[in-house]
Structure 1
Amino acid sequence: MDLLEGLKLKYQSVLNVVKSKGVVLSNLHVEGDKLFIKGAAPSEDIKNDVWNAIKAVNSDWSNEVMCDISVDTSLPQPTRTYTVVAGDSLWKIANQFYGNGAQYPKIIQGNPSSLKDEKSVIHPGDVLVIPD
């Protein structure tokens, strides 16, 4: 395994954050003996999520990674979704994502075309947007 593949494997959790949060990479290569990551994030919070993921892999990350992430607010914000399974309720889904089932109105607000109010019925296979 070459150095690039080894570093990509080690920092796979960072690359997963990059992908799931809508960060657009312009460079991902080895420079010297470090993984060089360059790109743009849709927000400062997402940029910080990338940095936190790097630090979670290795507290001494500066020996292995160079990261240059800018913020480009014109990039689309990532959309988190959830596919309903048997036994789900809006309360249960809100509890899973927000730690408080009483936050289910957020899910209703994030899905105006399919959920009208707390009496809306969800079915297995429905895909719901889960707002932050």
Structure 2
Amino acid sequence: MGLFDFFRRDAGKKLGGTEAPDPEHTKAELGRLGPDVQGLGVAMNGDTVTVKGQTTNQDAKEKAALLAGNVHGVPKVDERITVTQPQPESQFYTVQSGDTLSKVAKQFYHDANKYPAIFEANRPMLKDLDEIYPGQVLRIPPAA
């Protein structure tokens, strides 16, 4: 996957009560939200957060990168997580003003009723179907 550009510094969750991202708070947030990444390492280099580690599945790898990038003040994520059992990669989409999960599902799957697949792929970051915001980056899993 490599380097992700999250474009907006002002989107995402503020961690530790500060404007600037902090590797320790970001690592704690990743651990709290649960993508199963062994040997998780989080580092800041300028405006880029690097996440490293190893996991058994693509889902955990993508969620870790997505969670790190949806932290307030993080415009770029350098994802260096290895997967022992690789699977097809997801696409990523930056939410635009007026988007809904149904609209995004229609765009990617040609079926607005497939929005639950997008919602589930972005849990635990998403807690409510109606709470997405412009600038947020969503993971769009391959069509089933």
TM-score where L is the length of structure 2: 0.37
Instruction: Tell which structure's C-alpha radius of gyration is larger.
Output: 1
**Greater share of helix residues, 1 or 2?**
1
More relative contact order in 1 or in 2 (CA 8 Å, sep 6+)?
A: 2
TM-score where L is the length of structure 1: 0.40
